[in-house]
Amino acid sequence: MKRTPVIAANWKMNITPSESEGFVKAFIPLVKDNREVEIVLCPSSPTIERVTRSLKDAQNIKTGGQNIYFEVNGAFTGETSASMLKDLGCSYVILGHSERREIFHETNDMVNKKVKKALQTGLSCIVCVGEKLSERQNGRTESVVKDHVTNSLANFSKDDMKNIVIAYEPVWAIGTGVNATPEQAEEVHVFIRGLLKDMFDEETAEATRIQYGGSVKPENIKELMAQKNIDGALVGGASLKPDSFAKIVNYQ
């Protein structure tokens, strides 16, 4: 099955609203002819509005948030709701990133609730899963990935899956400069597709896009994307410069 690749920039806590204007101005012309890839920029919450505004004439670039809280509104100081992201013009939200799981103690159950709220609000989700180095070394990659996928995506329908992208991000590859080899990534992507088949059905498993994330750069995107089950990338460090992110997006 042909799946449209989705390549998303995770700016994390980088790029201020003012800095984002220069990024977007330089980035738009570099990707203006790209219709093969779904391109998503995920700025920090305060930067989103400036980015969506700067992107108003660029039909082929979407925006996304990096997190939401699962409640609708109320006394949750410091949190952002799904409808706030939607109101700012976001189409996507990244959920369950390993930095959220590790630093902010997010559990699969919380990720599950966030995905539910995001979908109800009309946002598509990029749901991150992946093992730590010690877990890989102890032969636990599959059990950790299975735990993340089955519990973060518990109780969703086949229809819900149309708006969910999975990002396989081995934690040991994030921000380290050491990417998973295309073969290592492909092996886990095949495993995830098998899980989706068991949880939903073959058609859903085949249609779901699975991104790879972890030290993706202009130099390695082509070989990663050459794998049958890698349908895009979630990019941190190399998405902070317009030319480097454009090279990744224009890998074909």
x/- contact string, 118-157, with ligand PEP (CB under 6 A)? Answer: ----------------------------------------
Q: Is 175 in the site for ligand PEP (CB under 6 A)?
A: yes
Using the contact rule CB under 6 A, the part of the chain among 45-53, 60-68, 132-140, 230-238 near ligand PEP is 230-238
Pick 90 or 234: Cβ nearer ligand PEP: 234
Pick 65 or 213: Cβ nearer ligand PEP: 213
Q: Which of 97, 99, 131, 189 is catalytic?
A: 97
Quick one: which of 64, 232, 236, 242 contacts ligand PEP (CB under 6 A)? 236
User: What span, in angstroms and rounded, lies between the C-alpha atoms of 4 and 207?
Assistant: 10
User: What span, in angstroms and rounded, lies between the C-alpha atoms of 47 and 23?
Assistant: 12
**Which residue in this structure is represented by tokens 């990534």?**
185
**DSSP 3-state of 156:** coil
User: What span, in angstroms and rounded, lies between the C-alpha atoms of 48 and 52?
Assistant: 6
Q: Is 235 in the site for ligand PEP (CB under 6 A)?
A: yes
Please return the burial class of 49, using the count of CB atoms within 10 Å of its CB with bins 0-12, 13-18 and 19+.
middle
Give the C-alpha distances (Å, rounded to integers) separating 125 from 23, 57, 115, 169.
24, 24, 7, 15
Number of residues that bind ligand PEP (CB under 6 A): 13
Using the contact rule CB under 6 A, the part of the chain among 21-29, 36-44, 146-154, 167-175 near ligand PEP is 167-175
Pick 200 or 232: Cβ nearer ligand PEP: 232
Pick 141 or 215: Cβ nearer ligand PEP: 215
Phi, psi (rounded to 5 degrees) for 94: -85, 130
Strands 124-129 and 92-95: parallel
Is 97 an annotated catalytic residue?
yes
Q: Is 169 in the site for ligand PEP (CB under 6 A)?
A: yes
User: What span, in angstroms and rounded, lies between the C-alpha atoms of 125 and 196?
Assistant: 16
Pick 205 or 234: Cβ nearer ligand PEP: 234
Q: Pick out residues in 196-225 that bind ligand PEP (CB under 6 A).
A: 213-216
For the chain, the distance separating the N- and C-terminal CA atoms, rounded to the nearest angstrom, is: 18
Please return the burial class of 187, using the count of CB atoms within 10 Å of its CB with bins 0-12, 13-18 and 19+.
middle
The one-letter amino acid at 79? E
For residue 100, the minimal CB distance to ligand PEP (Å) is 10
Q: Which of 38, 169, 186, 189 is catalytic?
A: 169
* Chain-centroid distance, C-alpha 126: 4
Q: Is 81 in the site for ligand PEP (CB under 6 A)?
A: no
Which residues are the active-site residues? 97, 169
**Chain positions contacting ligand PEP, by CB under 6 A:** 10, 169, 174-175, 213-216, 234-238
